[in-house]
Structure 1
Amino acid sequence: MSTAALVSLALLGALVGFVVPRLARRFTATPVGPRRRRDGNLGTEALRRDRRDPRALLGPLLAAGVFAGLAVTQADDPALPVFLVVAAVGLVLARVDLVCLRLPDPLVLGAGLLALGGLTAAALLSGTPGRLAGALGGATVAGAAHVLLALLPGSRLGFGDVKLAAVLGLPLGWLGRDALLAGLLLPHVLHGGLVLGLLAARRVRRDTLLPLGPALLTGAWLAALLT
């Protein structure tokens, strides 16, 4: 991939990062009062506060890094646009899950439909139908594995996490068995390490609920980069 193309995709990721908070707010904000009900958002004052907060730049920088990483490692893959679209929706899902511990079905379903449609088109255009079968198999394996985890006694795994894992199984299965295996294991290693660190620092208690969605998405992204 040329430097110009890589920079363009990184800038596109940064743009997505600027939009993510506003999209996520639609799924996390609870309107209170007549003005908010009419506007359907948090209002211009909240947006002004976001712009003044130096941390507001972290999102665009993170999104730029996500897009750049995929562009570098999957530059020759015909499904690169699909990976980028799933990553963009994933950034919104991660923010929503961090804020309110849920993964909205419209976002998860939308990511799944976009991934399935995009990978089908990529398989047909590149003449590699076997990779589409791998993607469908990946979704089945990832979904089934997380259903079993969710049904274990004492499990805190929600079915929103199960559905997201199945969706992420599509691009991971497209990339192959190694990527799928890494994408299944890495999220739980990351999440477990985070939980242990927070417990050691006494930032959470043993019964504190923590979102798994960001770990699922980060693990899938790392799997795509490393395999």
Structure 2
Amino acid sequence: MVSAGGGGSAGLLMVVSLGLLGCLLSPVAEILIARLLPRLGGLPTPRARITTAAVTGGACVAFVLRFGTPPGLSALILLAVLGVQLARVDIALHLLPNQLVFILLVAGIVLLGAPLIFSQQPDDFVRALFSAVILFAVYLILALISPGGIGMGDVKLAAPVGLYLGYLGWSQLLYGGLLGFIVNGVTTAVFLGGKRRNTAKEVPHGPAMLGALALTALLIQ
């Protein structure tokens, strides 16, 4: 949390700076994605770019308000930037690009593991690695049981989602994993209430997973 009192102005400056950083990194990420992954259709519309920048900046602010400036703050900024981009792409194209999921996973491992160089407390990081495997395995089993409900993109995304949830704690892994299905179910029900009945097949699960991760990180201690 941002401290009050004498450090209040410094804390406020940090919050504003990270919010602006998120807003700036969002269009940079979109440009890189458009150049490196042209099959996704190039840059999104100006309205979508403004929205993703605002959401990314807001996520960065929320994370620093919730956690302060922990050693893993850079990993949270990465999560805000790439998580929003993955959600945007999945909503627009019903696709979770392997490259972005892989970057989120590998860079997340590097950034969350980097503090171990200066610390002798690897418990959180080891738990995060186990959690990535656990959630990936759960989604893989569900995809094999019900291929129409869970796609392989969702299975792959489960690994970085599990990594971040597990880094926060076992309870966060449990609640975040369950909340992803709840959020997706509510979203599907809303769409079914106003549109044709096959909309359930058109509701991407990735944004629900990422949204559940963010909500769990921010609300559950």
What TM-score results when the alignment is normalised by the length of structure 2?
0.85
Question: Kindly tell me: are residues 15 and 30 of structure 1, through their superposed partners in 2, closer, same or farther at Cα, counting changes over 3 Å?
Answer: closer
SS at match of 2:82: helix
Question: Kindly tell me: are residues 153 and 17 of structure 1, through their superposed partners in 2, closer, same or farther at Cα, counting changes over 3 Å?
Answer: closer
CA RMSD of aligned residues (A): 2.2
> Post-superposition shift, 1:206?
5.0
> Post-superposition shift, 1:152?
1.5
Unaligned runs of 5+ in 2: 3-10
**CA deviations over 1:14-37 (Å, ceiling 9, x no partner):** 112333443444546467xxxxxx
**CA deviations over 1:195-217 (Å, ceiling 9, x no partner):** 00110112552563221111111
CA distance in 1, matches of 2:200, 2:76: 35
Question: Kindly tell me: are residues 186 and 93 of structure 1, through their superposed partners in 2, closer, same or farther at Cα, counting changes over 3 Å?
Answer: same
Query: 2:22 matched to 1:13?
Result: yes
Question: Kindly tell me: are residues 181 and 123 of structure 1, through their superposed partners in 2, closer, same or farther at Cα, counting changes over 3 Å?
Answer: farther
Greater relative contact order (Cα < 8 A, sep 6+):
1
CA contact (8 A) 2:55 2:84 kept: no
SS at match of 1:22: helix
Question: Kindly tell me: are residues 123 and 155 of structure 1, through their superposed partners in 2, closer, same or farther at Cα, counting changes over 3 Å?
Answer: farther
> Post-superposition shift, 1:180?
0.9
User: Post-superposition, which runs of at least 4 consecutive aligned residues in structure 1 deviate over 6 A?
Assistant: none
Aligned partner letter, 1:9? L
What TM-score results when the alignment is normalised by the length of structure 1?
0.83
> Post-superposition shift, 1:110?
1.0
> Post-superposition shift, 1:168?
1.3
CA distance in 2, matches of 1:18, 1:66: 15
CA contact (8 A) 1:23 1:92 kept: no
Who is 2:165 aligned against? 172
Q: How does 1:37-48 map to 2 (within 5 A)?
A: 41=42
**CA deviations over 1:72-128 (Å, ceiling 9, x no partner):** 112143211112112211122111111211111111111111011111112332321
CA contact (8 A) 1:132 1:174 kept: yes
SS at match of 1:126: coil
Who is 2:219 aligned against? 226
**CA deviations over 1:175-227 (Å, ceiling 9, x no partner):** 11121112101111111001001101125525632211111111111111112
CA distance in 1, matches of 2:38, 2:194: 28
Q: How does 1:98-177 map to 2 (within 5 A)?
A: 98-153=91-146, 155-177=148-170
Aligned length: 210
Identical aligned residues as a percent: 32
CA distance in 2, matches of 1:115, 1:168: 10
CA distance in 2, matches of 1:185, 1:28: 34
Aligned partner letter, 1:138? S
Who is 1:67 aligned against? 60
CA distance in 1, matches of 2:40, 2:142: 32
Question: Kindly tell me: are residues 28 and 178 of structure 1, through their superposed partners in 2, closer, same or farther at Cα, counting changes over 3 Å?
Answer: farther
Question: Kindly tell me: are residues 30 and 168 of structure 1, through their superposed partners in 2, closer, same or farther at Cα, counting changes over 3 Å?
Answer: closer
Unaligned runs of 5+ in 1: 32-40
**CA deviations over 1:18-71 (Å, ceiling 9, x no partner):** 33443444546467xxxxxxxxx56xxxx8xx44x5x64322211111111111
